[in-house]
Amino acid sequence: MQILLMGSAGLLGSTLSPFLSSRGCDVKTHSRSDGAQCLADLSDPRAANELLGKIQPDVIINLVGLTDVDLCEVQPNQAYLQNVRSVENITNWIKQEKISCHLVHISTDQVYDGANTHTEELVTLTNCYAFSKYAGEMAAASVPSTILRTNFFGRSHCAKRLSLTDWLFRSLSNKDSIQVFDDVLFSPLAMSTLSEMIELSIRNKPIGVFNLGSHDGMSKADFAFAFADELNLSTREMKRATTDQVAFIKTYRPKDMRMNSVKFENALGVKLPTLRDEIKRVAKEYHEVA
C-alpha cells in the first residue's frame, strides 16, 4: 500500500510521518517548501496532477491547510486555496484517473460551537477558517474518504511550529505571566494517539465524517492547570480569564468545540481515552526536558 502524506512537514505531519514509518508503512512525504520527499503547491492543479500521477498512491492522507485563524479571516481567498481548492485538486485527480485511492482528510473541531458535546451533524460555522475547512470536507466527500474532525496537542517535532503544550511548557518553565481561558472548551487528542487512530483509519477505510477526540473534554484553563500539575510546574504566574477580558484575540473563536466521538469508536472498534489520560501521556513527552 503506497501512502502519500500531504503536508507532512507541518505540526501533525512531523509526528505522523515517523510514526507510520515505524509501523512499516510505505510512506512518501509531501510538502510545499522543504523537509519532504516531494514538493508541490497543492493549490495548483497542474502541480497536484503531476505529483499524484508520479506517485499513484493507494491512500492519500491530507494534512495540508492554512491553520492560522486570523490569516484565514483577513485573506479568505488564501483560506479557500489551501483548505478547499487543494482538496478539490486531489479529488479531481482521483475522479479523472478512475482509480481506487482512499482519501483520509484531516478537518477540525472548529466547525462546532454552542454548549454541547457535538455529534457530527451539529455544525456551527463562526469564522473563515471553519467555513473553509467545512468546504474542504465537502470536496473530500466527493470521493471514497474518511474525514476526521480533530484537535491535538503534544511535543512538537516540527522546527517551525509550537504546539499548545509546547507554549504552556515554555511559559510555565520560564515563569512567564500568561492567561488561560475558562470559557473555551475542547476535547483534543495527543498527537501520538491521533497518529495511531489515523493508521487504523488507513487500514480500515471507514467512509464518512467522524469526530476524533478524547472523552470528558474540559476548558483550556483546566487543561493548562492539569498539564502543569502533571509536570509539577508552578502555576503562580498563570491566571484564569475569559476571552472577553483580553484584547489580543482578533478573530472570533468557538467557545465549545467538544466532540462526541462514538461514531468513530463504533466504526473502528476502539475506545478513545479521556482528556485527563491524554494529558498524562503527553506530560511524559516533556519529562525528559523538564
User: Among 37-45, 178-186, 205-213, 222-230, which window interacts with ligand NAP (CB under 6 A)?
Assistant: 37-45
- Per the CB < 8 A criterion, the answer to whether 226 and 148 are in contact is no
Angle of helix 45-55 versus helix 86-97 axis, rounded to 10: 50
CB of 57 to ligand NAP, least distance (A): 15
Place of cell 482509480: 99
Q: Contact letters (x/-) for ligand NAP, 109-138, by CB under 6 A?
A: ------------------------x-----
With CB under 6 A as the contact rule, the residue among 29, 91, 108, 214 that binds ligand NAP is 108
Percent helix, percent strand, percent coil in the chain, to nearest 5: 40, 20, 40
User: Among 150-158, 178-186, 240-248, 269-277, which window interacts with ligand NAP (CB under 6 A)?
Assistant: 150-158
Residues β-bridged to residue 152: 189
Distances (CA, A) of 157 to 14, 150, 217, 218: 5, 19, 25, 25
Interface with ligand NAP, residue 161, by CB under 6 A: yes
CB of 263 to ligand NAP, least distance (A): 18
Place of cell 485527563: 276
Interface with ligand NAP, residue 7, by CB under 6 A: yes
- Per the CB < 8 A criterion, the answer to whether 5 and 195 are in contact is no
CB of 236 to ligand NAP, least distance (A): 27
Q: Which residues bind ligand NAP (CB under 6 A)?
A: 7, 9-13, 31-33, 41-43, 63-65, 67, 82, 86, 106, 108, 133, 150-152, 161
